[in-house]
């Protein structure tokens, strides 16, 4: 009897978490990379007296999220490819979209963990009032993460058998996720104004939701034919 969609997804998630807990390799390397990203931006975007450039904080946060997310994606699927577990997963009598959902959940958790570290860091280095409207900011980050991760998981999975996957993943992923990043940056920038522009942020949240719905639906729908030989 085939297990249900949610059960399969959670099983895949549990497997990924269990593997990750043992070595914590992806978590540590991704987090460190994200921190290094923010440090580099801090050095690059600081004016002479040591004062950070205004208005850069939102963009820097989202760039760091996007870059470290791409890294986490390629590392995760490289691990799958190396141990050939992806093929085993796809051979299992489970619905393919459920496998995708499980990997997506793992990726979202990884990116959220990174954002939890990055947001206070960027707020600190750039004197930016990120926590003026924490719920709205969390919605922006959450929805943006879902949008980015949904496309990223699909693309990283479909590129697993490609020789030039490391170079192709950013080339393919970044253009498609530009709308998500734009919406995230603009919404965050609106929240960083004094006073925070809540209607603008809400508009971008609405748009992010639309993107998420479109991208998730497409990804769930096309995962199976894309992964079949």
Partner 1 sequence: MMKKIFLPLALVTAAMFAYAPFAINNVPLESTMLLVQKIFYFHFATWMALTAVIAVCGVSSLIYLFKGSRAADWYAVASAELVVVFGVFGLFSGSLWGRKAWGVWWQWDARVTMATMLVLVFLGYLMVRKYGGPGSEKLAAAMGIFGAATAPFVYKSVDWWRTIHPQTSVVRTLGDKFPAAWNLVLYCSAAFLLLAYLLLAARVRLEAMRSELDRMYLAAED
Choose between 10 and 182: whose C-beta lies nearer to partner 1.
Answer: 182
Choose between 14 and 161: whose C-beta lies nearer to partner 1.
Answer: 161
Q: Which two structure tokens, joined as six digits, stand for 195?
A: 């006073």
Find the shortest distance in angstroms from Cβ 186 to partner 1. 9
Integer Cα distance of 56 and 153 in angstroms: 28
Contacts with partner 1, residue ranges (CB under 8 A): 151, 154-155, 158-159, 161-164, 167-168, 171-172, 174-176, 178-179, 182, 203, 207, 210-211, 214-215, 218, 222, 225-226, 229
DSSP 3-state of 52? strand
Asked if 215 and 154 count as a contact pair (C-beta separation under 8 A), the reply is no
CA distances from 149 to 21, 73, 209 (A): 21, 8, 14
Choose between 164 and 194: whose C-beta lies nearer to partner 1.
Answer: 164
Find the shortest distance in angstroms from Cβ 183 to partner 1. 10
Q: Which residues contact 50 (CB under 8 A, 6 or more apart)?
A: none
Choose between 125 and 144: whose C-beta lies nearer to partner 1.
Answer: 144
DSSP 3-state of 55? coil
Choose between 151 and 192: whose C-beta lies nearer to partner 1.
Answer: 151
Find the shortest distance in angstroms from Cβ 169 to partner 1. 10
Find the shortest distance in angstroms from Cβ 172 to partner 1. 5
Integer Cα distance of 23 and 225 in angstroms: 33
């Amino acid at each position: 009897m085939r297990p249900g969609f949610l059960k399969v997804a959670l099983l895949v998630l549990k497997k990924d978490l269990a593997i990750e807990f043992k070595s914590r390799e992806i978590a540590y390397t991704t987090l460190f990379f994200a921190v290094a990203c923010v440090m580099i931006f801090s050095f690059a975007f600081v004016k002479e007296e040591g004062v950070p450039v205004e208005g850069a904080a939102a963009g820097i946060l989202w760039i760091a999220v996007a870059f470290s997310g791409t890294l986490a994606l390629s590392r995760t699927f490289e691990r799958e490819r190396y141990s050939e577990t992806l093929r085993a997963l796809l051979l299992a009598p489970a619905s393919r979209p459920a496998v995708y959902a499980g990997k997506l959940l793992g990726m979202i958790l990884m990116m959220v963990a990174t954002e939890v570290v990055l947001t206070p860091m960027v707020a600190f280095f750039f004197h930016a009032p990120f926590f003026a409207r924490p719920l709205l900011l969390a919605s922006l980050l959450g929805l943006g993460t879902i949008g980015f991760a949904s496309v990223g998981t699909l693309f990283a999975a479909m590129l697993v058998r490609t020789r030039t996957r490391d170079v192709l993943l950013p080339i393919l992923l970044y253009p498609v996720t530009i709308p998500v990043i734009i919406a995230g940056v603009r919404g965050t920038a609106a929240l960083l104004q004094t006073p925070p522009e809540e209607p603008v942020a809400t508009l971008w949240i609405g748009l992010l939701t639309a993107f998420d719905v479109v991208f998730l639906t497409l990804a769930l729908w096309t995962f199976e034919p894309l992964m079949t030989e």
